A and B are shown apart, each in its own frame.
Chain A
Amino acid sequence: MAQDSQKLHGLLAQFDTPADLMHAAEMIRDHGYSRWDVFSPFPIHGMDDAMGLKNSKVGWFTFIGGFTGFFSGMGMIWYMNEFNYPLIVGGKPFFSPIFSFPVAYELTILLGAFGTLLGMAFLNRLPRLHNPLLKHSSFKRATDDQFFLLIEASDAKFDSSVTRQLLESTHPVKIEEVQE
């Protein structure tokens, strides 16, 4: 077909009802696809389990950010005050976790926050300047009265015919190819 000269983004299945979408999602989940998503005008209860989604991995990023922040704060103070340029001020010790705590604390919070935000963005493959779905004509109805399911071509298990057959077995209204 003429569209084959453009890159295929994925296969889009359109459904009429949430129940259909849910059953379709369960089917795709059970077949072990990883890069796929559902689109609906309103949130559907139970879709997370139907899709087999786990807890978000952002927390790890937060943890690593906080950890780095705390120890780099302590380390910077130690380096500056005990190793690099020791100055006696009031007979106080050069390094103490107590007086370095505010700096370390602030850096923990800061780098933790960065970790969260950036981790979230990374995991969401953001920044993403353009989503091909948005130029797909029938997708408009995702915010209206239709329910969609997209399997991306970049999925490992994607195969034009096998995946199409699988999708057809979920009895969608129609199946379309989405071009990049």
Chain B
Amino acid sequence: MEIACTQDHGSMEGRPIIREANIQQFRKHPDFAASSMGIDSHFPHDLPSKVYNHPYESYEKKAEEKQKKDGTTLYPIIKSSVHQWAMTIDLNACTGCNACVVSCQSENNIPIVGKDQVRRGREMHWLRIDRYFSAPVTVPEGSDKGKIRSEKNLPADPQVSVQPMACVHCENAPCESVCPVNATVHDEEGLNLMVYNRCVGTRYCSNNCPYKVRRFNFFDYNLRPLDSLYDSPVMLDKLPRRPTDEFEIAKLVRNPDVSVRMRGVMEKCTYCIQRIEGAKIAQKIKAGASDAVEVPDGVVRTACLDACPAEAITFGNKLDPNSAVSKSIKNPRNYSVLGYLETRARTTYLARVRNPNPEMPDYQESLKSPYTTQEYFKTNAEDPFGHHGHHGDNHSDHGHGADDNHAKEGSH
């Protein structure tokens, strides 16, 4: 019997998507996530000049000059100097409870698709929680010795790591560049916008998204009953149906602030733009003639942030150095998932720190890392916490092999 399971791929494929450390390691290298793991940690800090500048940067320069010259704003505004939205998700706090997923579904009129469609991977949740199991790296004995994983030797006591993933609003969004009809663009406050009425359903953007957070409405899930998704419009009138008023009641659950999408249209997390715009409008009304249009910190609460019991999600204005999200971004644990792609995501994550007791029998003395980190070490042949740990300093230390000597800390 086939089961509808939303995550059947559990491997990070050697990339440090979830970055974890034990607290002892964190204390020695607090910025392990950003400076010791991942290809992005190998980038030199002074990159050579790029082929082109992001429009944000070129605009900022010109706007500054104009501001200095005659104190006026340069129109059209490409990068707002009032708000730049960003979000961080603290993996130490997230338990994977799913409250944010349902809250997002409730706020944004996300349809239910039914078991058959979930089996085909078409679930519409804008926010998903990835759950990875990790276990000690190699099969220690038996015929599969040396393999990373074996069917006959499924792990008995894995560690579990969870990571909520929604659209991270990349500044250099791969989805925007490939839309043939320009249905997804960027706004001046850092949000990646989705224009539903322009989308023709090519799905190229979803194809290109490295985080796979874009959802396509295949069958008009918002309108059709789930048992007649594949029927032609002609048949719909002929099938036995529940009374219309019964289904009209179900439509009342929709949030009138958010559009209800039709089939053939791509959708994704919008940073609850309806709440952002509502807050901006309210602030402008309050400000009246004055210039105080900046929304104070903590006023905009996205649906996921609001529902999270662990307060794992922080959202706010990056330009304000005192906002909660700015402080969170300065946290040494902060890193960007798939950062080496230079997507410049606005949603970053705070790496997970586990607090094991070194005296406990299940604490592996030889390796001292959470299992995901051990697996990362194994597949990338480098130890983020070895004596070459700070990859930001010296770039010539790649590929010195899975040498166990290097795993011991402080051996040099």
Contacts and interface: CB of A to CB of B under 8 A. Distances in A.
A89 B76 contact: no
Contacts of A88: 55-56, 78, 176, 185-188
Contacts of B170: 91
Nearest to B175: A90
Contacts of A44: none
Q: How large is the interface on A (under 10, 10 to 19, 20 to 34, 35 or more residues)?
A: 10 to 19
A86 B58 CA distance: 13
B176 A89 contact: yes
B361 to A, nearest CB: 50
Contacts of B178: 90
Contacts of B52: 92-93, 96
Q: How large is the interface on B (under 10, 10 to 19, 20 to 34, 35 or more residues)?
A: 20 to 34
A86 B182 contact: no
B172 A87 contact: no
Nearest to A96: B52
B386 interface: no
Main SS at interface, chain A? loop
Contact of A91 (B55, B182, B188): B55
Interface in B170-199: 170-179, 182, 184-188
Interface in A80-135: 85-94, 96
B177 A92 contact: yes
Nearest to B173: A90
Contacts of B177: 89-90, 92
A96 B50 CA distance: 14
Indicate the member of A89, A93, A94, A96 with the most B CB atoms within 10 Å: A89
A89 B55 CA distance: 9
Indicate the member of A87, A90, A93 with the most B CB atoms within 10 Å: A90
A85 B182 CA distance: 13
Interface in A110-167: none
Contact of B171 (A86, A91, A94, A96): A91
A84 B381 CA distance: 51
B55 to A, nearest CB: 5
Contacts of A91: 54-56, 170-173, 176, 186, 344
Contacts of B188: 88
Interface in B13-63: 52-56, 58
Contact of B182 (A87, A93, A94, A96): A87
Interface in B127-184: 170-179, 182, 184
Indicate the member of A87, A91, A92, A93 with the most B CB atoms within 10 Å: A91
18 contacts: A87-B185, A88-B56, A88-B176, A88-B187, A88-B188, A89-B182, A89-B184, A89-B185, A90-B172, A90-B173, A90-B175, A90-B176, A91-B171, A91-B173, A91-B176, A91-B186, A92-B52, A92-B55
Interface of B: 52-56, 58, 76, 78, 170-179, 182, 184-188, 344
For the complex of A and B, the 7 pairs showing the least CB-CB separation, nearest first, are A90-B177, A91-B172, A88-B186, A90-B176, A93-B52, A89-B176, A87-B185
